Structure 1
Amino acid sequence: MKLNKWTMIGSAVLLVAGVAPWAVGYLTEQQWLEATEEVNQSQPFVRLETDRYERGVFSAQASGTLALIDPKTGEADQIGFEVAISHGVTGSLLDFSPNGGWQHEGAQWLEDEEPSLTLETRLWGSAVVEFQAPPVSFEQPGRPESVSASGGFARVEVGRMGEQAEVLMVWPELNILGPRADVKLQELHVEQSMSLLSGDVWTGSGTMTLGALVVDSAELPALSVSNVSFETLSEASNGGQTLDSEAVLAVEAVRVNDAEYGPHRVAVSVDHLDVESWNAFSSVMTDMQLMAMDAGADSRSAYQQQMALMQRFNEAVRGLAASGFSVGVRELSLDTPEGEVQGSLDISHPELSEDERANMLMVMQRLVGSVDVSMPLALAEEYPAVRMQLSPLIKQGLLVRDGDELVMKGQMEDLVLDINGVQIPLPPLL
């Protein structure tokens, strides 16, 4: 009896080990086809076509084409690829490579190692994409340009059936040498954590840091930027109906020749953005881009589509305004040789009641805002290029002198912008 029990268990294990890869392979093929369709339908700039998919029990082979479409001309650059797929008990491993390999015949930009691009999937809807690049050096005979890079790594981990993602990229060094300038990037690090809220709206946080950016040119002063950071944060509020987002760009120092200036900081935020209206706005903007690329459409049909799109656009903007929002540059601080440039900008619209929404004849009639900017007067006096840009504002009274500074202070209300006492009527949006 004991032998029979273990025999049955062993047979079951063998059956699962034999059948599971086939089932996993079938599911992987369906997931591949669904992902391809979703990529093509979600945006107009990238198209993924599968030319061949041959599935076996423990492995599969596929090939296809990735097309990158120029939104202005509609022209596409195509990249052919091959995929070697292996099936396991709980998932599959897809190994991608370009047609003809990573290095064209006769090219010598790779040494011993080749790049690796893999996709690992699991039955429960998670996936991991990894790209590993060895050191590369690319030069073209007869041309002065060259590109070299240290080994780099990028990883995207997707969970919750595509509704959650973690991104990590590390690239220690990239050098671009050209006839007019040499550019060097050092210590690039990117981390991003995202969760799908609704439609095309994601929440989460992200950080990008760059150790140094160095530009060396015979035509321009030597420039280096050190310790750059870019941080973002998006959070849902009001039970997921609205979104609050902020982004902060900080630079520790900018060095021009032997002079160093810093730190610099810019903070931007959007508060109480209505998620449903923003999704509608994003959708209509995508459809407008698709229509602009469809040059062969019938003129009568195109006109009707334009009218329908404008109606959708109008409704989306009205929804954003009626739900209330606030957007602005909360902090601007730039260190210059002549002193600090400081400023802030805020634009907001109150949330409207149902009766107010029904009687809303103009979009953003109740928009209010403020602007406060100050900069050293010496910037305009010492630098002709800066003076040329600021001169029209000074002549119109939008920038006025206050001691050793030029200042701009303004308020917006009732479709009138008042800057330093100069009133500018704003056109209403119907």
Structure 2
Amino acid sequence: MNAKWMIAGAGALVLAGALPWGVGYLTQQQWQQATKEVNSNQPFVRLETGDYQRGILGSEVIGTVSLINPDTGESRRFDFQADVTHGVTGSLMDFEPLGGWSSSGEDWFPDQEPQLTLETRLWGTAVFELEAPRMEMVDVDTGESLSTSGGLVRVEIRDAGSSADALLVWPALALTGPDINLRLSDLRVEQTMNHLTGEVWVGSGEMAVNSLSLNAAQELPVTLDRISVRSRSEAVDSGQRLDSRVAFEVEGVSLADDSYGPQRLVFALEDLEVEAWNALMTGFTDLQSAAMSSSGAGPEAFEQQMEAMQQVNEAVRDLAAAGFSLGFPELLVTTPEGQVTGSAEIRHPELTADEKAEMLMVMQRLTGDLNLSLPLALVEKYPELQLQLAPLIKQGLLVQQGNRLVMKADLQDLVLDVNGEEIPLPPLL
């Protein structure tokens, strides 16, 4: 009996030692796969691993992160190191810049250093977390300073990368200098994402800011209260169609001694065919990648750009033939002189296979409408605005109705009817 227990105990010890080694091996494979996906799925960040020293209970990683400007191709490189701890069901990676968190000779974090970690599990879950303490940065040459409270950034990736939750909480940020004073309070961002297919993700998100104030030299102080951005994208019709909506809102605006609000703008995309939308997103990604190709302006790069452009054109055609609508169903701008209101929508009907085959242009069957109303007192108070709107008023595109200026427009058969004035549109698409 004792021998059996000794054998079982020895087996348990071997298993306990082997599990961290196996976890370390899988962690290295996951890191290599994640690096490959980061570099291939977007052109803005490039991740490179210089050295990966894997042990039984832990590993050490040295690498670089390059931030790339897609327009110029310029990049800024940051070297990092990570200490990896292997557990029984996952690993914990603790990252730190090789040069430290502060610039040479500076102490940006007087209380403690930031902590940046990545926790992974064998079943495909990963949690990226940044805990940032209070920060103080001062530029002695310009007299500008940046100070922030402690903050938290957390991204949880589940189901082998097919779903993710993100959270950002930052109570306070201030940028001050001789000519500017910018303050932000209570920033919170939440985002939930689920992969639908290809380049298409669905989910919901919200960004909220309690207040944002700006006091610049030679300008009136401005404060925006309770800013919010809410978005939602969802699959409908058994995942074949996509609806998306984004709402921007500012509860109050304070300018000098005046205060007014709310301000609201809503964008909406409805009934998009998922397959065509995915092809369009893929085409844009390929077009951007081709434009940034290191091969420059050679024949191969030009051919790649033409292929991507052709893919975009075909996707737009397929998207229109499947039917869709887009626009802003709600516009509300509150001013001391009154409210500016409006809405607009562009639609394309769903076509049969025969109608699609005969389709010459996307614009041919587009229909739409636009409504805009603004107070006459607003135009009369600001001469610059009056000069900009004067041609529209003269042509009858803005007409006076009581104490308001109104525009009502309808689009059909490549003709835009604005307050009874018909404007033929050129067939551009």
Task: Name 1:236's counterpart in structure 2.
Answer: 235
Deviations 1:331-366 (A, max 9, x none): 111111000111100111111111111221212421
Q: Which moved more, 1:234-243 or 1:98-107?
A: 98-107
Task: Name 1:159's counterpart in structure 2.
Answer: 158
Question: How many residues are aligned here?
Answer: 429
Asked if 1:265 corresponds to 2:264, the answer is: yes
Matches of 2:163 and 2:222 in 1, distance apart? 39
| Counterpart AA for 1:393 | L
Q: 2:268·2:326 contact (CA, 8 Å) conserved in 1?
A: yes
Matches of 2:178 and 2:414 in 1, distance apart? 51
Task: Name 2:320's counterpart in structure 1.
Answer: 321
Task: Name 1:36's counterpart in structure 2.
Answer: 35
Matches of 2:217 and 2:309 in 1, distance apart? 50
Task: Name 1:378's counterpart in structure 2.
Answer: 377
Matches of 2:43 and 2:351 in 1, distance apart? 35
Task: Name 1:102's counterpart in structure 2.
Answer: 101
Matches of 2:346 and 2:4 in 1, distance apart? 74
Task: Name 2:207's counterpart in structure 1.
Answer: 208
| Counterpart AA for 2:9 | G
Which structure 2 residues correspond to residues 60-209 of structure 1 after superposition, within 5 A? 60-209=59-208
Q: 2:270·2:325 contact (CA, 8 Å) conserved in 1?
A: yes
| Counterpart AA for 1:304 | E
Matches of 2:82 and 2:92 in 1, distance apart? 10
Task: Name 2:351's counterpart in structure 1.
Answer: 352
| Counterpart AA for 2:288 | Q
Shift of 1:315: 0.7
Q: Which moved more, 1:297-306 or 1:350-359?
A: 297-306
Shift of 1:308: 2.1
Q: Which moved more, 1:310-319 or 1:150-159?
A: 310-319
The change in CA–CA distance for 1:19 and 1:382 in structure 2 (over 3 A counts) is same
SS in 1 for 2:6: helix
Q: 2:295·2:301 contact (CA, 8 Å) conserved in 1?
A: no
For normalisation by structure 1, the TM-score amounts to 0.96
Q: 1:374·1:406 contact (CA, 8 Å) conserved in 2?
A: yes
SS in 1 for 2:220: coil
Q: 1:181·1:216 contact (CA, 8 Å) conserved in 2?
A: yes
Shift of 1:5: 4.6
| Counterpart AA for 2:422 | Q
The change in CA–CA distance for 1:231 and 1:18 in structure 2 (over 3 A counts) is same
SS in 1 for 2:389: helix
Which structure 2 residues correspond to residues 278-317 of structure 1 after superposition, within 5 A? 278-294=277-293, 296-297=295-296, 299-317=298-316
| Counterpart AA for 1:277 | A
Shift of 1:429: 4.2
| Counterpart AA for 1:203 | V
Matches of 2:380 and 2:297 in 1, distance apart? 57
Shift of 1:322: 0.8
Shift of 1:371: 0.2
Q: 1:170·1:189 contact (CA, 8 Å) conserved in 2?
A: yes
Q: 2:24·2:57 contact (CA, 8 Å) conserved in 1?
A: yes
Task: Name 2:391's counterpart in structure 1.
Answer: 392
Which ranges of structure 1 fall in alignment gaps of 5 or more residues? Answer: none
Q: 1:121·1:127 contact (CA, 8 Å) conserved in 2?
A: yes
Shift of 1:86: 0.8
SS in 1 for 2:14: helix
Give structure 1 regions of 4+ aligned residues with deviation exceeding 6 angstroms.
none
Shift of 1:422: 2.0
The change in CA–CA distance for 1:10 and 1:398 in structure 2 (over 3 A counts) is farther
Q: 1:321·1:364 contact (CA, 8 Å) conserved in 2?
A: no
Matches of 2:92 and 2:24 in 1, distance apart? 10
Matches of 1:191 and 1:162 in 2, distance apart? 18
Matches of 2:402 and 2:103 in 1, distance apart? 64
Q: Percent identity?
A: 51
Which ranges of structure 2 fall in alignment gaps of 5 or more residues? Answer: none
Deviations 1:58-96 (A, max 9, x none): 111111111111111111111111111111110000111
| Counterpart AA for 2:172 | E
SS in 2 for 1:143: coil
For normalisation by structure 2, the TM-score amounts to 0.97
SS in 1 for 2:239: coil
Matches of 1:68 and 1:136 in 2, distance apart? 22
SS in 2 for 1:365: helix
Task: Name 1:252's counterpart in structure 2.
Answer: 251
Q: 2:185·2:212 contact (CA, 8 Å) conserved in 1?
A: yes
Matches of 1:47 and 1:426 in 2, distance apart? 44
Shift of 1:43: 1.3
Matches of 2:15 and 2:270 in 1, distance apart? 53
Q: 2:291·2:301 contact (CA, 8 Å) conserved in 1?
A: no
Shift of 1:295: 6.2
| Counterpart AA for 1:249 | F
Q: 1:415·1:426 contact (CA, 8 Å) conserved in 2?
A: yes
